[in-house]
Amino acid sequence: MKDGKFLTLGIESSCDETAASVTADGRQVLSNIISSQIDIHTLFGGVVPEIASRKHLENIDKVINGALEEAGVSLDDIDLIGVTHGPGLIGALLVGVAAAKALAFAGDIPIVGVHHLHGHISANYIAAPDLEPPFTAVVVSGGNTDIVDVRDYNDLELLGASRDDAAGEAMDKIARVLGLGYPGGPKIDALAKQGNMHAIDFKRVTLEKGSYDFSFSGVKTHVINYVNTERQAGNELNNADIAASFQLSIMEVIAEKAVAAAKEYGRDKLALAGGVAANSLLRRLMEEACRANGIEFYRPEPVLCTDNAAMISCAAYYKFKAGHVDGLDLDAKPVLDFDRF
Ligand code: KG4
């Protein structure tokens, strides 16, 4: 507690970002330190789990101390520690969970484990101080494409998810095929701006009527086959048109399903979250669809969309306020059901 404010230290290490943050009263960010490993994993074209764990281990103390220092507080001022305990890479998660438990034990501070997706959704509470549940949330990241009905801060229902590739994963794979490098999402986003999104009619998979699930492996294969066929025929590829058309085929389906879910569940607010929420086309399509349907659209700034610990800190705060506390037996869970957040 400092200046009458409840301070939460958040820790995130589920994939390739080592992050720590201090928030006051859940939603005010006092510090948000993110140490990205992207440069190392770029050399391999994707995240190498063993390297990620080792880098987390090297960075975690520095990042936590940096977050406390930037917030101008010490561990004695911290009222709660929130940590991502799943889902994610097991070796990576273990580093954050072990650090959080050690600090909780040393400082006699309560600890709360946070589901990574719950964290992503909570980034919206930080970005929009007036946002209150209920609302529809769409989490689009490298590992997930989910539509969630947020009934209350700790009462969330998963309405649909990707049955195969997540949107970010499909974008990263197509970027690799086009030789754009890793991570592919931002590269496709940038290149698509120079292309014609209606140049190539790539597959759109909407699945059964009324389903909020997604499937992106079909469009991914369609693009790969298109690229191979054109290359074999000796035709020059227009990468900008491919990027733009592929991006449209993914983002259009996400925006359509998200707005349909909000309408079916009677929600007048829709919040975007996850790394792919930084995508400029997705933001535009969602904004337009929401406006046309009288839905208020929320999306955090890009730094709160990709993995960070401020969102984890915020989610932990609301769990703690609702009476949830974990013990020092809190474990890292590579697979964690959404209803166990
Ligand atoms: O949420 P995040 O940082 O990590 C996961 O939890 O997965 O999301 C990373 C994903 C990557 O697949 C990356 O390519 C994608 O987000 N991404 C984007 C953009 N910025 C990041 N995808 C599309 N457009 C962007 N501007």
Which domains occur in the chain, in start order? 7-123+305-340 (3.30.420.40), 133-301 (3.30.420.40)
Name the strand (E) or helix (H) holding 273: strand 269-273
Q: 240-262, pLDDT tens digit by residue?
A: 999 999 999 999 999 999 999 99
Q: Residue 175: which residues within 8 A CB-CB, separation 6 or more?
A: 181, 182, 183, 184, 185, 187, 188
pTM, whole model, 2 decimals?
Answer: 0.92
Q: Are 116 and 82 in contact (CB under 8 A)?
A: no
Which of 84-98, 127-141, 203-217 comes out lowest in average pLDDT?
Answer: 203-217
What does the radius of gyration of the chain's CA atoms come to, in whole angstroms?
20
Q: Are 202 and 222 in contact (CB under 8 A)?
A: yes
Question: How close is the Cα of 306 to the center of ligand 1, in Å?
Answer: 6
Question: How close is the Cα of 188 to the center of ligand 1, in Å?
Answer: 11
Q: 132-178, pLDDT tens digit by residue?
A: 999 999 999 888 899 999 999 999 999 999 999 999 999 999 999 99
* Tokens representing residue 131 in the block: 């946002």
Site to substitute for ligand 1 among 276, 282, 299, 311, most atoms within 8 A of C-beta: 276
Q: Which residues line ligand 1 (CB under 6 A)?
A: 15, 141-143, 168, 171-172, 183-186, 189, 274-276, 278-279, 306-307
Query: Nearest residue CA, atom 14 of ligand 1?
Result: 185
Report the C-alpha gap between 337 and 341 in whole angstroms. Answer: 7
Site to substitute for ligand 1 among 141, 162, 193, 311, most atoms within 8 A of C-beta: 141
